[in-house]
Structure 1
């Protein structure tokens, strides 16, 4: 009575073993290179950039006596510039981190450098906005070159995993 059950279990393991062997030849192995640490450092550094921007908004809020939970002031454009510089960076942050950390698996040094360019662009963007003249925010537009580089490195990772090159 026990014998048929054992045979069924053995058959089940054989099926798993055979399917694992067929996948094994096609499997990509991701190796995290030591240089990936640079991507991690850029990710950590970028969080300090967010804290700096949040502190600038809080400082301007106290200075101009704009109470919480008011997100944007109906009558103070300077505060709105500070708030917008921070908010826009927060809107892009999940995409930035995703691209940085995934692209870094394929090209860690290139991705880290692109991440630094992106973060530097976000700082210049904020400093331009902090003047009160929203047009000056475009000075930080070069940061998008870093983001494009991250799109490229992440695309390379995807194509490598799919065996396209």
Structure 2
């Protein structure tokens, strides 16, 4: 039998990983959906073509929103898991890193979609999410390894 004891303040871990992060995913979807019609990209197509982007700036903006959303979906699951695991040993640090990850992901989305930087380079505004994510991975691994040794 395995017993898991959650530390005081673990509710904040749950709030970020199972509350705020899914809401941010929903916001990503809303942004993509709101740009689809103006971009002229019908379902089931995921992205506008190069030709569409050349003739319609909204198509390029749609592609940036779609890519920001895809990047979010590629990174959110392991980040949620890392926050939940790291929070068992380091609840305050995991909460802070999870909050930083969310903030940087918001900046990533905004920079990618709503700045005029070419080739989506506005996403670099939130690129620090990688550091928060790596720290969460490290804390998770360290916390688990510490119990195994």
TM over 0.5: yes
Match of 2:56 in 1: none
- Spell out, residue by residue over 1:21-51, the C-alpha distance to the aligned partner (whole angstroms, 9 max, x if none): xxxxxx9854211211111011111111111
Gaps of 5+ in 2: 54-59
Report the alpha carbon displacement of residue 160 of structure 1 after superposing the two structures with TM: 2.3
Give the structure 1 partner of residue 132 of structure 2: 146
Runs of 4+, deviation exceeding 3 Å:
27-30
Q: What do the CA deviations read for 1:72-104 (whole angstroms, capped 9, x no partner)?
A: 110222211010011110011111111111111
* Alignment CA distance shift 1:28-1:153 (3 Å): farther
After superposition, residues 42-81 of structure 1 pair within 5 angstroms as 42-43=16-17, 44-74=19-49, 75-76=52-53, 77-81=60-64
User: Any conservation in 1 of the 2:31–2:65 contact (CA below 8 Å)?
Assistant: yes
Structure 1: tracts of 5 or more residues without a match = 1-26
Shift of 1:146: 1.2
TM-score by length of 2: 0.85
How far off is 1:161 after superposition? 1.8
In the alignment, the residues of structure 1 paired with residue 128 and residue 75 of structure 2 have an alpha-carbon distance, to the nearest angstrom, of 15
Q: How many residues align?
A: 137
* Backbone CA RMSD of aligned residues: 1.7
Which residue among 100, 121, 131 is the counterpart of 2:104?
A: 121
Instruction: Verify the 8 A CA contact 1:114 1:145 in the aligned structure 2.
Output: no
State how 1:99-138 maps to structure 2 within 5 Å: 99-130=82-113, 131=115, 133=118, 134-138=120-124
